[in-house]
Amino acid sequence: MEKELIDVDLSMKFDSLSVLENIRFKVHENEFLVIVGPSGCGKTTMARLLAGLQKPTSGHVTMRGESISPKVHNISIVFQEPSCIPWRTLWDDITMGLVIKGVDQSAIKKRAEEVIKLVGLDGFEEYFPKQLSGGMKQRVAIARAYATNPDLLLMDEPFGHLDAQTRYLMQIEIMRIWEKEKKTVVFITNNIEEAVYLATRIIVFSKLPARIKAEYRIELPRPRKLTTPEFLGVRSEVTEQCEVVER
């Protein structure tokens, strides 16, 4: 039933520092996979490897049997840091991926209008990033990533810089978007509550050098509530597996 999309089997070193060790997992089509781990454990490196922006020291990342590359595959990434291009209006920013991929004008217009509506930014098309709040900027980044209909949508701690409340709103939002337009998502976070709220499956990374510590399939019904005993139970279980970074 589950179609395999991506196969990961790799190790990564920076000079002599081992960052990722024997990371081996698969990503299935249309799943919402969350990778959770303590800060500074190499999660961002994992995201860059999955995006094909970096090559592993050994091993491979393949999508449908082919080594992953942004020039070949349709991948989108949402970064933790605000990545809106300051001199582009919201419209120009969101259509960037479509323009690069050579989509024709009328299709660009149609799709951009669609995703702008999807993230609830209609009316802000001519705004520059400096005129938007932190939450809105991240929505632009999400819309930009969604616009190209990616086969793989990567999100690297996309809500890390938002305050706890805006973060909850964005989590609800991303779930709503995902349920409307199912995509294969790999979502990276250090927030366990967020992981349990969003994921169909969770992979827990250890601290540096990162290994896979545990894997959970989350089958709680949606929309999930943060304070049900079942939710809190799963959350505690995952928390147990996460390590505390002392240094």
Partner 1 sequence: MEEKINREKYKTLGYNVLTLFLFLAIWTLAYWLIKSPFFPSPLMVFNAFLELLIHGDIEDVKLGMHIQQSLWRIFGGFAAACILGIPLGLLMGLYGRVYDSTKVLIEPIRFIPPVAWIPLVIVLLVGYFRFVFIIWLGAFFPIFIGTLLSVRGVNPLHIEVPKSFGASRFYIIRNIVLPSVLPEVLTSMRVGLGIAWECIMAAEMIGGERVGIGIMILKYAQLIRMDAIIVGIIVIGIIGFGLNEIFIFVEKRIFRWKEVVSI
Partner 2 sequence: MSGRKVKIEVRDLCKCFGDLEVLNHMNFDIYEGEFLCVVGPTGCGKTTFCNVVTRLLPLTQGAITMGGEEIDFKKHNVSFVFQEPSCIPWRTVWDDIKIGLQIKGVNKTEVRRRVNAIIELTGLTGFEHFYPSQISASMKQRVAIARAFVTEPDLLLMDEPFGQLDTRTRFSIENQLIEIWQKTKRTIIFVTHNLEEAVYLSERILVCTQKPTGIKEEVLVDLPHPRDITDPKFVEIRNRVTDLVKWWE
Contact footprint for partner 1 (CB under 8 A) = 51-53, 69-72, 75-77, 79, 81, 83, 85-88, 96-97, 100-101, 128-130, 144, 148
Does 174 interact with partner 2 (rule: CB under 8 A)? no
In whole angstroms, how close is the CB of 190 to partner 2 at the nearest point?
Answer: 3
In whole angstroms, how close is the CB of 136 to partner 2 at the nearest point?
Answer: 12
With tokens 């669609």, the residue in question is 114
Q: Which does 30 bind (CB under 5 to 8 A by kind): partner 1, partner 2, none?
A: none
Q: Which does 107 bind (CB under 5 to 8 A by kind): partner 2, partner 1, none?
A: none
Does 66 interact with partner 2 (rule: CB under 8 A)? no
Q: Give first-to-last CA distance, the chain, whole Å.
A: 43
Q: Is 247 exposed, middle or buried (0-12, 13-18, 19+ CB in 10 A)?
A: exposed
Q: Which is nearer to partner 2, 17 or 85 (CB)?
A: 17
In whole angstroms, how close is the CB of 236 to partner 1 at the nearest point?
Answer: 35
Q: Which is nearer to partner 1, 87 or 164 (CB)?
A: 87
Near partner 2 by CB under 8 A: residue from 25, 40, 92, 175: 40
Q: Which does 165 bind (CB under 5 to 8 A by kind): partner 2, partner 1, none?
A: partner 2
Q: Which residues pair with 210 in a beta bridge?
A: 20
Whether the Cβ atoms of residue 180 and residue 143 lie closer than 8 Å to each other: no
Near partner 2 by CB under 8 A: residue from 9, 113, 166, 175: 166
Does 236 interact with partner 2 (rule: CB under 8 A)? yes
Residues that bind partner 2 (CB under 8 A): 37-40, 160, 163-166, 168-169, 190-193, 227, 229, 232-233, 235-236, 239, 242-247
